Amino acid sequence: MSERLEAWTIESSESSLRLDVAVASRFEDVSRARVKKWIEDGRVRVDGKIARPSRLCHEGESVEVVIPAPVSASPEAEAIPLSILYEDEHLVVVDKPAGMVVHPSTGHPSKTLVNALLAHCHDLSGIGGVERPGIVHRLDSRTTGVIVVAKHDHAHQHLATQFQERRVRKRYLAVVHGAPPDHLVIDRAIGRDRLHRTKMSSRTKHPRPATSTVERLEQLPHSALLAIQIHTGRTHQIRVHLSEAGYPIAGDQDYGAPRKRAFGQNALAFKWLSEFPRPALHAESLTLTHPKTGEEMNWTAEVPKDINDLLEKLRRIKAAGNR
């Protein structure tokens, strides 16, 4: 993969921002420190001239950024057990456990899903690029559930197109705080948060459309079990949408899960919810068209033990209260 050029004109909302801040806000997956390095290396020009990171931007100025090619570091195969839901010569579908990062990155050079798949599928290397072989979509490291991986270029291109054209159906389950309505459609654009660069929110300078459909499956003490279908695939979309709607996911401290103690009838339920060690979010099912046969295929991953245990505790509290 070679270098690429990105160019745009400074908007009124970016006027008076530092150059490194303005550039970083345009790239969701790039840190401000990395942008500063680009500027210092002469990769960023304003009206054709090299500038300092601290330079203030003005509306109407043109910005050009030469993004360096990623460093190719072929991941190593590692014999890590996988829960395979389906496999043929074109693709493999995995039930990803909590805590497994999808592909190697800074801070996670090994023990990822890609490392495990390279040991399982000897012909996977290089498909989709050596940095992320076979990967066409992602799940957060702490999210469990269904993820599909391509085994060859044709399958990768076919699956990637389905995701880009939003023809893939994805259903998630989440345990949330509060009492949401039976049905809820959240149509709220999100992007990199203006103040907290590691988070996403609707408080952003560069919003991207995001829509989630929510169905309440079960009301529980101080909480609910929800089914969510996402119609776009923005980073942290479900976590942001539910949090901003007033129903943060249990265990998701990054997006507003309550930490304070509750009293009275809800005290025990609140204890279980607040002590859950990760966001209680599970990618339950995935439906797409097979890249070779054209057949519609669906895969479902069972609710993981930790979420199921949480639900059972909440159900026992509910049953005791109804006696």
What is the pLDDT tens value at each position of the chain, 323 positions in all?
A: 568 888 999 998 889 999 999 998 888 667 788 899 899 999 999 999 999 999 999 999 999 999 887 655 578 889 999 999 999 999 999 999 999 999 887 667 789 999 999 999 876 645 555 556 788 899 999 999 999 999 988 898 899 899 989 999 999 999 999 999 999 999 999 998 988 877 899 999 889 999 999 999 999 999 999 999 999 989 999 999 999 999 999 999 899 877 666 556 578 898 899 899 999 999 999 999 999 999 999 999 999 999 999 999 999 999 987 64
Selection from 31, 29, 23 nearest residue 66 by Cα? 23
CA 311 to chain centre: 24
CB atoms within 10 A of CB 248: 24
Domains with residue ranges and CATH for the chain: 4-67 (3.10.290.10), 84-165 (3.30.2350.10), 170-321 (3.30.2350.10)
Burial (CB < 10 A; 0-12, 13-18, 19+), residue 97, is middle
Does 182 participate in catalysis according to the annotation?
Answer: no
Q: pTM for the complete prediction? A: 0.77
Beta-carbon contacts of residue 316 (< 8 Å; ≥ 6 apart): none
| Residue 81 phi, psi (nearest 5) | -60, 140
The answer to whether 282 and 144 have CB atoms below 8 angstroms apart is yes
Predicted local confidence at residue 17, as pLDDT? 92
pLDDT at 152: 87
Task: Please tell me the predicted confidence (pLDDT) of residue 195.
Answer: 84
With vertex at residue 166, the alpha carbon angle to CA 161 and CA 168, rounded to the nearest 5 degrees, is: 85
In angstroms, the first-to-last Cα distance of the chain is 64
Largest CA distance in the chain: 74
Residue appearing with tokens 């012909």: 123
User: Helix H segments across 172-245?
Assistant: 237-244
Q: Which of 20, 95, 140, 252 is catalytic?
A: 140
Within 10 angstroms of residue 307's Cβ, the number of other Cβ atoms is: 22
Strand pairing of 183-187 and 296-300?
A: unpaired
CA distance 231 to 68: 32
- Retrieve residue 264's tokens: 């009275």
Token readout for 289 is 């068209």
